[in-house]
């Protein structure tokens, strides 16, 4: 992702700056006479994943451009860095600090109570604290659409899924995908899913996808962070389709990425920054779903002409049924089992 004129501030720079006395910065923005500062701690996958982290970063970049904020991004080499990085940004007097990823929940639960004048945004998990806003998404809804499309486009009758670490969050992607595929075509064979147990090893993503393609899948959806770039590479080499995730990954391999299940982390981040700056911050859970555009499929600008006639119309119909509450995509294995049991038999 293009950084533009933004200056990367590593942990060393954050620690070296002048501390502000326990993070007691003005959170109203604009009223304190100082530049409104946005801190962001990336997960171990880091920037450049063309996916989850880059989407969060895009929201921060947008705020800098449109709201005149200053950004302090910090990359994390491993999970043990989270608490140190969150503390450093809080000590520097950031007005809002984002913890990117559910793995930072424990670290943030320790840091946030110590800096009551700093606001925090936790992405992909919930934390009940008065200065924390939890930003979560209906991944199962967008993934349902991805599976529905995959089943109707597949010519081999076999599709697959590659996940990152085995967690309840990634299960939402997998279960929604399977449910959508089986709704579109009960006879579709969804091969046993592959998990890399990593967010950043692109080779593991590639090897996992290659195994699925060799087993007959012609479409593989990934929810694996940077590992997913390996899935896309494998699809390109095999002449098959990949489905991207989180950001619009269609241009990573034009014509190879059938679609991307976009999760608008950028919008969630930008709106939270704006609320803090305008003095309208509220804690609690903010959920982004299909109805409000928080999740959804890409425009498929490189593949739309290859999709069989009538498929996109069916996809729009299913999307509306989800929005209207007529279809409730499952988000756990138990919900998936119950959902599949209620489908008409092929």
Residues 6+ apart with CB under 8 A from 27: 95, 96, 117, 118, 119, 276, 279, 281
- Distances 96 to 39, 73, 76, 78, 265 between C-alpha atoms, Å: 6, 12, 18, 22, 16
What CATH number labels 139-262+308-341?
3.40.50.2300
Q: Which residue has the higher pLDDT, 246 or 22?
A: 246
The H or E element spanning position 162 is strand 158-163
Report residue 226 as tokens.
């940077």
* Tens-digit pLDDT profile for residues 105-116: 999 999 999 999
Is the per-residue pLDDT at 21 higher than 90?
no
What CATH superfamily is the domain 11-137+265-288?
A: Response regulator (3.40.50.2300)
Q: Are 142 and 295 in contact (CB under 8 A)?
A: yes
Report d(CA 276, CA 281) in Å as an integer: 5
Q: Which two tokens stand for residue 144?
A: 């349902």
Residue 221: both structure tokens together: 């959806």
Phi/psi at 40 (nearest 5 deg)? -145, 125
Average pLDDT of every residue of the chain: 91
Question: In angstroms, what CA-CA distances link 55 with 120, 176, 254?
Answer: 17, 21, 19
Same fold, 11-137+265-288 and 139-262+308-341: yes
Share of the chain above pLDDT 70, in %: 90
Distance from C-alpha of 243 to C-alpha of 241, rounded to nearest angstrom: 7
Residue 20 banded pLDDT, cuts 50, 70, 90 = very low
Residue 139 has a CB neighbour count (10 Å cut-off) of 29
Q: Where are the domains of the chain?
A: 11-137+265-288, 139-262+308-341
- Model pLDDT for residues 129-169, shown as the tens digit of each residue: 999 999 999 999 999 999 999 999 999 999 999 999 999 99
**What pLDDT shows up at residue 346?**
60
Of the listed ranges 28-32, 138-142, 149-153, 281-285, the least confidently predicted one is: 28-32
Non-local CB neighbours of 40 within 8 Å, separated by 6+ positions: 56, 57, 60, 71, 72, 73, 74, 97, 98, 100, 269
**pLDDT band with cut points at 50, 70 and 90 for residue 117:** very high
Cβ of 227: how many Cβ atoms within 10 Å? 31
Rounded CA-CA distance 309/273 in Å is 42
């Amino acid at each position: 992702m293009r950084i533009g004129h933004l200056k990367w501030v590593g942990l060393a720079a954050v620690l070296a700056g002048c501390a502000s006395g326990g993070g007691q910065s003005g959170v109203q923005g604009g009223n304190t006479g100082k530049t409104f500062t946005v801190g962001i701690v990336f997960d171990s996958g880091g920037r450049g994943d063309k996916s989850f982290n880059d989407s969060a970063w895009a929201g921060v970049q947008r705020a800098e451009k449109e709201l005149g904020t200053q950004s302090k991004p910090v990359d994390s080499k491993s999970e043990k860095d989270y608490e140190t990085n969150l503390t450093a940004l809080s000590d520097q007097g950031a007005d809002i600090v984002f913890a990117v990823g559910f793995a930072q929940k424990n670290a943030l639960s320790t840091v946030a109570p110590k800096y009551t004048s700093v606001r925090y945004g936790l992405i992909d998990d919930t934390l009940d604290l008065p200065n924390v806003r939890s930003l979560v998404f209906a991944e199962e809804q967008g993934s349902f659409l991805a599976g529905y499309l995959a089943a109707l486009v597949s010519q081999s009758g076999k599709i697959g899924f590659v996940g990152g670490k085995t967690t309840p969050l990634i299960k939402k992607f997998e279960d929604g995908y399977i449910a959508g595929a089986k709704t579109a075509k009960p006879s579709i064979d969804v091969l046993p899913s592959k998990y890399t147990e990593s967010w950043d090893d692109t080779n593991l993503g590639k090897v996992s996808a290659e195994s699925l393609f060799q087993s007959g899948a012609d479409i593989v959806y990934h929810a694996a962070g940077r590992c997913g770039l390996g899935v896309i590479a494998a699809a390109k080499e095999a002449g098959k389709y990949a489905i991207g995730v989180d950001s619009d990954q269609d241009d990573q391999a034009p014509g190879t990425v059938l679609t991307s299940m976009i999760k608008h982390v950028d919008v969630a981040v930008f709106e939270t920054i704006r609320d803090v700056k305008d003095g309208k911050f509220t804690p609690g859970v903010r959920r982004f779903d299909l109805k409000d555009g928080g999740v959804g499929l890409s425009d498929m600008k490189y593949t739309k002409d290859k999709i069989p006639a009538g498929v996109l119309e069916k996809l729009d119909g299913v999307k509306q049924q989800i929005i209207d509450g007529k279809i409730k995509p499952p988000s756990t294995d138990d919900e998936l089992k119950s959902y599949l049991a209620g489908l008409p038999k092929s």
